[in-house]
Amino acid sequence: MAASRLPPAALSLKQFLQRQKVLCLYRTLLRTIRLVPNEADRQYLTSWARDEFKRNSGAKEEDAIRMMVSQGNLHLQELQRTLQLAKS
């Protein structure tokens, strides 16, 4: 029987894809926050996003992570809409 070449802590495909979704959300959120015109608001939102992601970084349950990602996407869409309204 051949031994696996993967280290014991390797992520499954599902976990890897979920991790990529979280990282993509985080990057997109930070890029969107950079568009906020007020410096104080930008700092607050950056700090808030960083704290939320750090606080939930230990989550292991797939359903909970999926729920947090969809909640984060809603926050992102709301921020994007607000920025669009501010430009108008």
Task: Encode burial over 9-35: b for 16+ CB neighbours within 10 A, e otherwise.
Answer: eeeeeeeeebeeebeebbeebeebbee
pTM for the predicted model, two decimal places: 0.85
The pLDDT of residue 2 = 58
The answer to whether residue 25 sits within a structural domain is yes
50 versus 3: which is more confidently predicted? 50
25 or 9, which is more confident? 25
Q: Does residue 3 belong to any structural domain of this protein?
A: no
Query: Is residue 11 in some structural domain?
Result: no
> Is there a domain that residue 59 lies in?
no
Q: Which residues span the domain enclosing 31?
A: 17-54+64-87
Relative orientation angle of helices 39-55 and 13-33, to the nearest 10 degrees:
170
Rounded to 10 degrees, the C-alpha dihedral 62/68/70/75 comes to: -170
Average pLDDT over residues 25-34: 97
Domain count within the chain: 1
